[in-house]
Chains A and B, each alone.
Chain A
Amino acid sequence: MLLRKGKKRRPREAEAVEKRPMFRDPRNFGLVVQTYQNQLFRYVYNMVHDHHLAEDLTQEVFAKVYRSLTSYNPKYPFSAWLLRIAHNHGIDYLRQKKLQTVSYDSVTNEETLHEASPEFHDTSARTAEDTTQRAIIQEAIYSLPVDYRSVIVLRYLGGTKLEEIAYILGIPMGTVKSRINRARQILQRLLAESKPGTRAP
């Protein structure tokens, strides 16, 4: 029957860190990095789709975070604040590279594929069918403009609340909702085109 997603997926340690003021203390920065490195790395990786680049950018993001720890306003969760910094940093990078409205794949093929080795090509541990489906879906996600990809990744990577997504991306709630809907429509169409077994609206 109808499934309802009840709980937000956020690691327990992350909650614990957020609730204590200790993370503002630079001496505890190692713990902050430890707790949030996967979340930030994944977010940045999904923006730029390049492992090495994502690593460099994530490092820079943490350096920015470190320098501005005292400016964190606990109105939003600490993780949302970190993602906001990561998003802005990623957008700055993409803007410099003039990639922001271009499908990443079309650029990747021409310019950076020879130096990047996207993680999803490492499919050794998966079954062939699973790999195909994963590859198709990931390709569809990466073909979205970054504005749309960001909302999808935040929504489905971390189950981030709409209000937090609005804060992270610096856009109104209404825009978040319309981008999610639009992105889903695009994805549904792409998936229907690429795989006959996938249900279309």
Chain B
Amino acid sequence: MSFAPFKTLTSKTLVLGAENIDTDQIIPARFLTTTNRKGLGKLAFNDWRYGDDNSETDHILNTSAAKQCQILVAGHNFGCGSSREHAPWALMDYGFRAVISSEIADIFHANALKNGFLPIVIEAAAHQWLLDHPGEEIVIDLEACEVRLPKNGGTYSFKVDPFSRHCLLQGQDEMDYLLEQDEVITEYEARNV
């Protein structure tokens, strides 16, 4: 699947400051019986957003301001738990294009990148600033690998795997890249399998 290139993103942030937000919070398992990837945004953080009778709670994610935010700022160790790719699908369908935290779980991190959703691990000082300033408009510049904060918050660089960065900037699909390696894969099989 290819996606829109990701170059810079300017948006207000939505802050979910809890640590260890796991994939069962992002999208509860009972919604995983779906066989397509569309329409999961309304189920994102379902158990935080809806009460027992399915009515909306007053959670920040239900406010109209939240739905304008394309950048999620989350507490330490975001996305831990299962490998469900439904988690980044749900966040993207909700409207997010990036998440910033001080630590992001491996599988979530990999899944996000493969969908054109940028996971950013940033140093503690910047993370704290972001947690303390919800709703500020910030800039994520993937070409420069920088997060620029307003109000003298400063500019912070972040690391992203060069290959993933290339794919994101170009909107390029990893499948094509793998399929192009057909010959070396077949050679490997001839030697080993």
A, B from the same assembly: no
